[in-house]
Amino acid sequence: MTILFISDDDNAQRWCDAIARHLEGFDAANDFRIWPDDGGDPAAVDIALVRLPKPGVLAGYTNLKAVLNLGAGVDDLLADPAFPRHVPLGRMVDDSLSGGMVEYVVHGVLHFYRAFPAYARSQEEHRWQPLAHLPDPGRWPLGIMGLGVLGRAAAAALGSFGFPLLGWSRTAKEIEGIEVFAGPEGFGDFLGRTRILICLLPLTPETENILDRNAFDRLPKGAYIINAARGGHLVEEDLIAALDGGHLEGALLDVFRDEPLAAESPFWDHAKVIATPHVASISPSRNFAAEIANDITRVRAGGPPRHLVNMKSGY
């Protein structure tokens, strides 16, 4: 039985060493293969550890018992028409992922709430111009799109600052401290009361392009956008238009439709945009290794990965 590692962005040997520390009986020389140079016999591969594999690659491995994604988002995998959808797909859920995302979102909210863009402009112009008074957090409702592990963790941290918390999800939920809106029928009311919109949704056919002109028009004038989910959520030209037209005041973007962000993208030089290179939540191999080893053990015993993806919902 063989584990196949597929990723152009990760150090395969580092992952192998980290997993070996947690997996009893693991023989790296015989049990671990690295695509594409050391793929071995495709028929012998029973588990694939992947991050952004090229489309069609997994279709050639006909005896897979599970695919374990080295991250939380699986939209790229499910967008591959050749992905073997009959094979259980597991995604990573880790405290360090949530912690990093919470830090990023809290930073973004406080950056806009405390008017740091205005202070940055004052510094560029050599102007000493403090604001007359501190803003009132009670007048800054935060709207969180996506109330899974990441959304709830972000809400818990932000609530301590006194911000009113609004949440929107596909289905109705009851979460203490959050006023929850659900489905298409609740989306407009949710947006209409949101001062800073935070997107932490999974990317599915239903949520693709959800951050568009129609959504921006429903936000109050002067609202802000934070997108730390997926680039496919955002209609980029609609955001530029809303910023240039003055309806939106600013945006913090960590994800983009095409990555790396093209040199000619207007986001690089836009005065109202902060662009970061998909770094909101990064977890090193040592943090995931125990969870992956646990999933490998479960799968080889005939069970599913712990965080099994629902192929219909896409998360």
Determine the pLDDT at residue 10: 85
Q: Is residue 312 domain-resident?
A: no
pLDDT of 156 higher than 90:
yes
pLDDT of 284 higher than 70:
no
Q: Is residue 168 domain-resident?
A: yes
Q: Determine the Cα–Cα distance for residues 47 and 19; give it in Å rounded to an integer.
A: 13
Question: How does residue 200 score in pLDDT terms, banded at 50, 70 and 90?
Answer: very high
Q: Which residues contact residue 288 at a Cβ distance below 8 angstroms, ignoring those fewer than 6 apart?
A: 18, 70, 92, 94
Check whether residue 192 and residue 169 sit in a common domain.
yes
Check whether residue 238 and residue 296 sit in a common domain.
no
Q: Which residues contact residue 281 at a Cβ distance below 8 angstroms, ignoring those fewer than 6 apart?
A: 72, 97, 98, 100, 101, 104, 150, 228
Q: Which residues are catalytic?
A: 230, 278
Q: Which residues contact residue 228 at a Cβ distance below 8 angstroms, ignoring those fewer than 6 apart?
A: 101, 104, 105, 108, 198, 199, 200, 252, 254, 255, 280, 281
Check whether residue 46 and residue 33 sit in a common domain.
yes
Domain that holds residue 73: 2-94+283-300
Check whether residue 100 and residue 247 sit in a common domain.
yes
